[in-house]
Amino acid sequence: MKITVNEKARELDVEPDMPLLWALRDELDIKGPKYGCGIAQCGACTVLLNGEPVRSCAYPVSSAVGQQVVTLEGLEKKGKLHPVQQAWIDHEVPQCGYCQGGQILAAVALLKKKPKPSDQDIDAAMTNICRCGTYARIRSAIHAVAAKGVKA
């Protein structure tokens, strides 16, 4: 089967029910999405499918056929960081960083839908677990991107 990841067509010869996470990580060597729980609880495996955050550990790869898959690696354009990535640096958001790829993608999706999200919007959209406890900084980084009015 063929899937499109970060705007590139990729050929895969895998079982249709293999979770997208493991097709990306172990077949295509795309390591941005991380394994955390395998049951769509933590969100470390988050990727964007047609712009929507999806937990790739519980999403069959065959369902991604025909959709645009974006991983953390696909956010940087022509050597320029996505505003959310830049805000994550400016606010020193990550600690261990393991969950942050998922957090960043969830934030990208949120800001696309709601360029000026309220705290309630952030509460509702940012459901990924961060064991290091970077939540306060995730919130301020999202607000900072919104305040700059950069098209996310």
Partner 1 sequence: MSEHQINSSSEVSTAQDGASRRDFLKIGASVSASAGAFSMAFFVPERASAADPKGVTPANNDPQKINAWIEIRPDETVIIRYARSEMGQGSRTSAPMLIAEELEVDWKRVKVEYALAHDNLKQKRVYGDMASVGSRTIRLSQEYLRKAGATAREMLIVAGSQAMNVPSSECIAKLGMVIHPASKKSISYGKVALKAAELTPPANVALKDPKDWTLAGKSIKRVDIPDIVTGRIRYGVDTQLPGMLHAAIAQSPVFNGKVKSMDGSKVQNRRGIVKVLNMGNFVAVVADNFWRAKEALKEVNIEWDVAPEHTKLNNASLHAFFKEGLSQTELAVARNDGDTAKALAAGKVIEAEYFTPFLAHSTMEPMVCTAWLQGEILEIWPSTQNAENSLAAASTASGVKQENVRVYPTQLGGGLGRKSPQDFTVQAVRIAKEMAGKPVKLLWTREEDMQHDFYRPASLVKLAATQKADGNIDALHIRVSAPSIIASLLKLPLPKGVDPQAVAAFEDHPYAISNSLVDYAQRNSNIPVGFWRTVGHSQNPFVRESFIDELAHAAGKDPLAYRLANLPEKNFRDIAILKAVTKAANYSAPLPKGVFRGIAETDGYGSWTACVCELSVNDRQEVKIHRIVIGIDPGYAVNPDNIAAQLQGSVVHGLSAIFWGEMIVKEGRIDNSNFHDYRLMRLNEMPNVETVIAPTGGFWGGVGEPAQAPLAGAVANALFNATGKRVRSLPFKNHGFSLARVRT
Name the site residues for partner 1 (rule: CB under 8 A): 14-15, 18-19, 21-22, 25-27, 29, 31-32, 34-39, 41-42, 44, 71-73, 75-76, 81, 85, 88-89, 92-101, 104, 119-120, 122-124, 126-139
Smallest separation (angstroms) from partner 1 to the CB of 100? 6
Smallest separation (angstroms) from partner 1 to the CB of 126? 5
Smallest separation (angstroms) from partner 1 to the CB of 33? 9
d(CA 5, CA 71): 7
Smallest separation (angstroms) from partner 1 to the CB of 1? 15
Q: Toward partner 1, which CB reaches closer, 65 or 129?
A: 129
Amino acid at 79: G
Q: Toward partner 1, which CB reaches closer, 4 or 27?
A: 27
Q: Toward partner 1, which CB reaches closer, 50 or 118?
A: 118
Smallest separation (angstroms) from partner 1 to the CB of 111? 15
SS (H, E, C) the chain: CEEEECCEEEECCCCCCCEHHHHHHHHCCCCCCCCCCCCCCCCCCEEEECCEEEEHHHCEHHHHCCCEEECHHHCCECCECCHHHHHHHHCCCCCCCCCHHHHHHHHHHHHHHCCCCCHHHHHHHCCCCCCCCCHHHHHHHHHHHHHHCCCC
